[in-house]
């Protein structure tokens, strides 16, 4: 800095340098080819390392070796494998670019896959709150997303032996394996999920639009900071894997799925260090009381013979015609399961199908018709499946009510459409 006393005004002639802040803004774009994007990153890192090396060499000549060592730290950062690995993982994980439409598709697929291995209620409890949080960040209404999750959970549970209680009952009575369900109901599930994606594109196009500012909020999320207890997370992941294995082998182990689930819940509660009274306080008691009342009503109908009478009427209507019997069981199961719990209905239908088997009738397709109808029918109304009630209750508590009527307008048509797809699949199987 120059110091002194100005003797007189004067004129100075020199080059003028204008300090301008660089434009550091960037545009977030969708990346489809993540491999190409990672290759671009590698090229950019290599170019930065080369340029920084040249700067270091010049600094050695002008400032000396000791002063130039500061650039070594920069070079180490550019070659840090952990940092580069995290960047590449982010590229792969966030290629959807916070696009609400793509996020909805991903949530649907994840929910369907999880529901095929876990209880539907467990799945929506895991995915539901996360969906609401992301929808709020995107500044879009989460209700369409939650409806799609409900549909996906019930559809996904249809695909496997352990995905839904009716499938477990059918598999035990008919001696069907995990792969039997996957090969038969799994085909229909894939087609129904595809139909669901098309339907939600047509119905909820306006709900898949978000501002660039909202997208940027989602893209700026640091997933690692959301993990408040890494130890508990690792325990949870291990327990989920063990639960899936337990569900797959519960018949060989001679252990009920409920015992496996409750055991895992006990372990995670102990590991979390939470007191039992705090856990009990967080239980959705209103939902539990609703199911208690529903099961009492259905149990009364079962004890009085109403459900058995419905089942016998369905069978007698077909007069033993195989194709008609398949279609009647499929559609009747779907319609009944949309308003009543599907477990007692399936329990009443199993002996009737077994009796037809004893009479010499090929009943393999009847089992798949019963499974598809009972599981997919749960999407028909808000009370059709446990996942429906649980997720709607979560949505209501977050300020996004899902009424019986609003659900019916979307759920029942989708149920009809999904059963229609299943009808085509079963007819193809019958004539091949």
Q: What is the pLDDT of residues 120-161, one digit of tens each?
A: 877 888 888 888 888 887 777 888 889 999 999 999 988 888
Q: 146, 108 in Cβ contact below 8 A?
A: no
Identify the three-state secondary structure at position 271: helix
Summarised one tens digit per residue, pLDDT across range 377-405 is: 989 998 888 888 888 888 888 888 888 99
The pair of structure tokens assigned to 71 is 């650039």
- Asked whether residue 367 carries a pLDDT value surpassing 60, the answer given is yes
The pLDDT score that the predictor gives to residue 179 is: 80
DSSP string, 65-98: HHHHTHHHHHHHHHT-HHHHHHHHHHHHHTTTTT
Per residue in 262-271, pLDDT tens?
Answer: 788 788 788 8
pTM over 0.75: no
Helix axes 143-157, 404-431, angle to 10 degrees: 30
Q: DSSP class of residue 342?
A: H
| DSSP letter assigned to residue 382 | T
Residue 420 has, within 13 A of its CA and on its CB side, a CA count of 8
What are the distances in angstroms from CA 419 to CA 17, 27, 157, 281, 320? Answer: 73, 44, 15, 39, 22
What is the reported pLDDT for 68?
62
* Cβ–Cβ < 8 Å for 119, 258: no
Domain extents in the chain: 34-93, 100-280, 284-431
- Picking from 378, 381, 376, the residue whose alpha carbon sits closest to that of residue 408 is 381
Please determine, for residue 372, whether its predicted confidence score (pLDDT) is greater than 90: yes
**Model pLDDT, residue 162:** 76
Given a cut of 90, whether residue 415 has pLDDT beyond it is: yes
> Between the ranges 62-71, 188-197, 252-261, 294-303, where is the mean pLDDT highest?
188-197
Question: Largest Cα–Cα distance in the chain?
Answer: 121
């Amino acid at each position: 800095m120059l110091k002194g006393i100005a003797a007189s005004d004067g004129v100075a002639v020199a080059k003028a340098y204008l300090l301008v802040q660089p434009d550091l803004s960037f545009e977030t774009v969708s990346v489809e080819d993540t491999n190409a994007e990672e290759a671009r990153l590698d090229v950019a890192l290599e170019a930065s390392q080369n340029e920084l090396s040249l700067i270091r060499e010049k600094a050695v000549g002008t400032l000396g070796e000791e002063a130039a060592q500061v650039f070594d730290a920069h070079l180490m950062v550019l070659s840090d494998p952990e940092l580069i690995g995290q960047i590449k993982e982010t590229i792969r994980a966030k290629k959807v670019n916070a696009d609400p439409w793509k996020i909805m598709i991903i949530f649907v697929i994840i929910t369907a896959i999880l529901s095929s291995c876990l209880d539907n209620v467990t799945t929506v409890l895991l995915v539901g709150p996360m969906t609401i949080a992301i929808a709020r960040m995107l500044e879009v209404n989460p209700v369409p997303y939650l409806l799609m999750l409900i549909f996906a959970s019930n559809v996904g549970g249809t695909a496997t032996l352990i995905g839904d209680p009716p499938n477990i009952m059918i598999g035990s009575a008919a001696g069907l394996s995990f792969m039997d369900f996957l090969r038969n109901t799994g085909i229909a599930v894939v087609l129904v999920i595809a139909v669901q994606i098309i339907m939600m594109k047509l119905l909820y196009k306006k709900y898949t639009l978000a501002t660039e500012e909202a997208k940027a909020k989602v893209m700026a999320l640091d997933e690692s900071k959301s993990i408040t207890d890494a130890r508990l997370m690792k325990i949870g992941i291990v327990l989920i894997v063990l639960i899936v294995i337990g569900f797959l082998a519960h018949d060989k182990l001679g252990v009920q799925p409920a015992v496996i689930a409750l055991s895992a819940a006990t372990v995670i509660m102990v590991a979390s260090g939470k007191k039992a009274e705090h856990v009990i306080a967080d239980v959705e008691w209103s939902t539990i009381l609703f199911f208690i009342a529903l099961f009492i009503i259905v149990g009364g109908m079962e004890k009085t013979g109403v459900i058995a009478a419905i089942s016998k009427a369905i069978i007698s209507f077909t007069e033993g015609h195989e194709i008609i019997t398949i279609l009647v069981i499929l559609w009747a199961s779907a319609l009944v399961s949309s308003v009543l719990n599907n477990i007692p209905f399936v329990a009443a239908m199993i002996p009737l199908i077994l009796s037809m088997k004893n009479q010499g009738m090929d009943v393999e397709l009847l089992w798949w018709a019963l499974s598809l109808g009972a599981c997919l029918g749960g999407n028909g109304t808000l009370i059709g499946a446990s996942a429906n009630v649980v997720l709607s209750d979560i949505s209501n508590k977050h300020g996004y009510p899902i009424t019986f009527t609003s659900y019916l307008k979307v759920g029942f048509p989708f149920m009809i459409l999904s059963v229609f797809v299943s009808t085509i699949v079963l007819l193809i199987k019958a004539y091949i």
